[in-house]
Amino acid sequence: MTMKDYRTIVVGTDGSALAEPTVGRAAWLAKHDDADLVIVCAYSTLSRRDEAKNVATLGGDSRTGQVLGRTAAGQALSTAVQVAADEGATVTGALLVDGEAAEALIDVADDHGAELIVLGAVRDTSLATRLLGSTAEEVTRRVSCDVLIVRPELGETEFEVPEDPSL
C-alpha cells in the first residue's frame, strides 16, 4: 500500500492549545510531501469595545474553531505561520476569513484544490455540539478530499508533534 502524496494542504487554526500541534502536523506533512500549505483562521466580527476586551485573552470558541475578533485571529494566524515555518513548510497562503470555521475551511480547500484538510478536534459532549455537530464533523461530511483530525490525549494540555507522524 502506498501513501498518497499531497500537493496542497489546508490547515485550520483558532489559537487554542490544540492549534500548534495541528499546524505542526500539517506543516510536517507539507514539508515531507513538498506540498503547499494554506493556513486558515476563521473569526467572527466584534464591536471595537468587545475586540479590545478579547485581544488580551486571544479568545475563541474551541468548539466552533472560530476566533472572536479580527485582531485575535490575526495573532492566531501569525503564530500558526511561525509554527509552520519552524517546521520547514512552504506556506503559500495565510488567510483570515470572517465566518464560520467549517465553511471557511471548505471554501478555501475548494478554491485551492486541496487534497488534504488538517484540523484539530476536542472531545466535546456539550448539548450544542451534539445537536449541531462540530467543525470536524461538518468538514468531514461535506468535502471530497482527505481530512486528518489531530486529537489531544485525554487530560493533556501541552502537545508535541512527533518525529514520526505514524505514531
The domain spans of the chain are 8-150
Q: What is the pLDDT of residue 53?
A: 58
67 vs 50, 63, 144, 163, CA distance in Å? 13, 11, 26, 29
9-68 pLDDT, tens digit each: 999 999 888 899 999 999 999 999 999 999 999 998 865 665 555 555 544 544 445 677
Q: What is the pLDDT of residue 24?
A: 96
User: 139 or 153: which carries more pLDDT confidence?
Assistant: 139
Please identify which residue in the block is written with the cell numbers 464591536.
Answer: 47
* The dihedral sign for the CA sequence 132, 135, 137, 143: positive
Q: What is the pLDDT of residue 134?
A: 82
Q: What is the pLDDT of residue 69?
A: 83
Q: What is the pLDDT of residue 126?
A: 59
Does residue 118 surpass a pLDDT of 50? yes
Of 133, 140, 98, 99, give the one whose Cα is nearest residue 118. Answer: 140
Average pLDDT, the chain: 80
Average pLDDT of the residues in 110-124: 87
CATH number of 8-150: 3.40.50.620
Q: What is the pLDDT of residue 52?
A: 58
Average pLDDT of the residues in 127-136: 59
Of 40, 41, 22, 136, give the one whose Cα is nearest residue 92. Answer: 40
Q: How far apart are CA 62 and CA 134, in angstroms?
A: 10
Q: How far apart are CA 141 and CA 20, in angstroms?
A: 24
52-111 pLDDT, tens digit each: 555 555 445 444 456 778 888 999 999 999 999 999 999 999 999 999 999 999 999 999
